[in-house]
Amino acid sequence: MTKEEAQKRIDELNKLTSYHAQKYYDEDSPEITDFEYDMLMVELRNLEKEYPEFVTQESLTQHVGGTVKEGFEKVEHEVPLQSLQDIFDFEELEAFDERVKKVLEVEELQYVVETKIDGLSVALEYENGIFVRGATRGNGLIGEDITENLKTIKNIPKMLKEQVNITVRGEVFIGKQEFEKMNEEREAMEETLFANARNAAAGSLRQLDSQIAASRPLDIFIFNVQKCESISFISHYEALQKLKELGFNINPVAKLCDTMKDVIKEINKIGENRENLSFGIDGAVIKVDNLEYREKLGVNAKTPKWAIAYKYPPEKKETSIKDIICQVGRTGAVTPMAVLEPVKVAGSTISKTTLHNEDFIKEKDLKIGDKVLIQKAGDVIPEVVDVLKEKRTGNEIEFKMPTVCPVCGALAVREEGEAVTRCIGIECPAKLHRNILHFVSRECMNIAGLGEEIVEDLLERKLIYNIADLYDLKLEDFASLKKDGKKFAQNLVDSIENSKKSEFYRLINGFGIRNIGSNAAKQLVKKYKNIDNLANASLESLTMVEDMGEKRAQSVYEFFHQEQTKDLIKRLKKAGVNMEAEENAEMLDERFAGKTFVLTGTLEKYSRDEAKKIIESYGGKASGSVSKKTDYVLAGEEAGSKLTKAQNLGIPIITEQDFKEMIQ
């Protein structure tokens, strides 16, 4: 490689590593695996070593990646939170050992070997034993104040067992089982899955709303004393034991080794047992134990000279795709799943894995019968990483996404601009639980008391099979769900009966038609007046409804032309559910015409519904989310993230008093 080629490649690598570091550290949404990023850094480091004249301060070999997110206070670390240099074989480890011993002029040296937790590094500060502040690593010198988020983690002691002034460093993470459960729940709710446990933990901690952090299964291991005024330590291992006495949850894998042979033995042991650990790791950390020696060895710009990280390569295994089947989630998403020849990867047997969607299959050119390579993303989620096309026999079968739901037979539709195919059948058993919860919610039919657990009980006891069955339930059906449940049962029966009188638009909203919310339902009711007119409307007519557009019109048209829908409407009519628009009072005036309001927090005088009706009576719209199109945010007490977003976007924020003045 010529000097010109080297400089060009170093420039390319600087851009690549900076881009992927931003995705990883700042956005918590990596686009490449840790191993791929590590290989880029290794190439950059080696080229810079060979051509030091091309090293710049912007290079990530010279500083830690990460910036302070907008909205957080900056924290200057009194003791920098440095990164570790990564190595990938034992020859590099032995070279590190020789280097350290040469500087220290010793022949024997004790090391501590610990698991390298795959999470987010933080510093915790205590004054007189009281937790006063916590911060992210950031760029190593300046981090983010995330104290309130850290207080939600139960394994961070708020008060130590001794009144000491101490700053410690730890790693916040999410356990393997907890991560799998969280992703299963997100998949069921059709939310974007977290790429790995590390990014889930980092994304949870770097939220402006601490309630989000509190809702996530975050944990922490403490692995270092950064600064301590009242206790002096001789060795790192001794410091770890003292941290445990003080009440900290220390790294459970920390082995004191007398020789490099013992170090290598411990690294191998961790590697062999990593699948049995309840938390994810991406390597082993080797640290000089003697703290006086550490002072003598010192640090580089980015890394300490007394520690190094051994990285384990991701394990890949070959298997074959026996079949591709489709599962239907609670939201109707039809997800292709690969049925695999069972293979053991990273300690567990994998027999199936998600193929995400139709585009993923096309991009990989996957076929039934293909030989593929499987690995676990972040050592947790199994995934297909490569298709071994050279091993094809010609007997492989091309997969096509179904056009009907494999569970209920209703249409399965992939809308333009979306990657997901969805079942649109309202009676589909796979999504019935979610459909009913939506139907009975406050924004729809407002059946008070019919919450998630009750709906689940009704389904498990086979008392309901679709939405219409709710109106056939008797007093004794509900009474059987609870001990001494007569009053509870009567309240539910009354609530269901009252829901029959609900405004027509609430029924349309309750159907859960794709792309149709409360405002769109009101526009449909305004134009068509009753269910028969709406059900018989042509596609062309639907597109002419205000704010409807082709996409929404198509959703409505397809929904009302399903046999399941026709059957449901017939049964709801028989039950006496209102399916006609009321003759609305004339609009007071159009002072809010073209204006969009978002409500957040608790209002003193009005309920949310009352405030929405007032806004609509003056020609305005009430939306559920803040965007650049929002004109006003009406904020009450305990306003949350919507208020914060509005402030960030510069949207006018009005109080309840302001609102009263606007409508007088």
Pinpoint the alpha helices (H) of 368-443. Answer: 432-440
Q: How far apart are CA 78 and CA 47, in angstroms?
A: 33
Would you give the distance in Å from CA 455 to the centre of its chain? 26
Q: How far apart are CA 148 and CA 257, in angstroms?
A: 38
Per-residue tokens: 13: 């690598």
- What is the per-residue DSSP string for 119-150? SEEEEEEEETTEEEEEEE-TTSSEEEB-HHHH
3-state secondary structure of 349: strand
For residues 635 and 645, the answer to whether their CB atoms sit within 8 Å is no
For residues 380 and 198, the answer to whether their CB atoms sit within 8 Å is no
Q: Which residues pair with 221 in a beta bridge?
A: 171
CA nearest to 386, candidates 368, 365, 358: 365
Residue 181, Cβ neighbours under 10 Å: how many? 13
**Helix, strand, coil content of the chain in percent (nearest 5):** 40, 25, 40
For residues 134 and 125, the answer to whether their CB atoms sit within 8 Å is yes
CA nearest to 507, candidates 532, 526, 531, 491: 531
Handedness of CA 181, 186, 187, 192 (dihedral sign): negative
The helix (run of H) or strand (run of E) holding residue 615 is helix 608-617
Per-residue tokens: 311: 């990285």
Handedness of CA 250, 79, 62, 32 (dihedral sign): positive
Per-residue tokens: 5: 């080629």
- Provide the angle, in degrees to the nearest 10, between the axes of the packed helices 549-560 and 563-575: 70
Give whole-number Cα distances, 481 to 417, 454, 613, in Å.
44, 8, 36
CA nearest to 316, candidates 92, 93, 17, 35: 35
Rounded to 5 degrees, φ, ψ at 343 are -145, 140
Would you give the distance in Å from CA 43 to the centre of its chain? 32
Query: Terminus-to-terminus CA distance in the chain, angstroms?
Result: 77
For residues 205 and 224, the answer to whether their CB atoms sit within 8 Å is no
Question: How do 367-368 and 130-136 pair as beta strands?
Answer: unpaired
Number of H helices and E strands in the chain, helices first, is 24, 24
Per-residue tokens: 113: 């070997």
Q: Which residues pair with 414 in a beta bridge?
A: 421
What string of H, E and C letters represents the secondary structure of 453-474?
HHHHHHHHCCCCCCHHHHHHCC
Q: Which residues are the active-site residues?
A: 116
Per-residue tokens: 228: 């301590």
Q: How far apart are CA 316 and CA 337, in angstroms?
A: 19
For residues 317 and 339, the answer to whether their CB atoms sit within 8 Å is no
Per-residue tokens: 413: 């539709």
Question: How do 130-136 and 120-127 pair as beta strands?
Answer: antiparallel
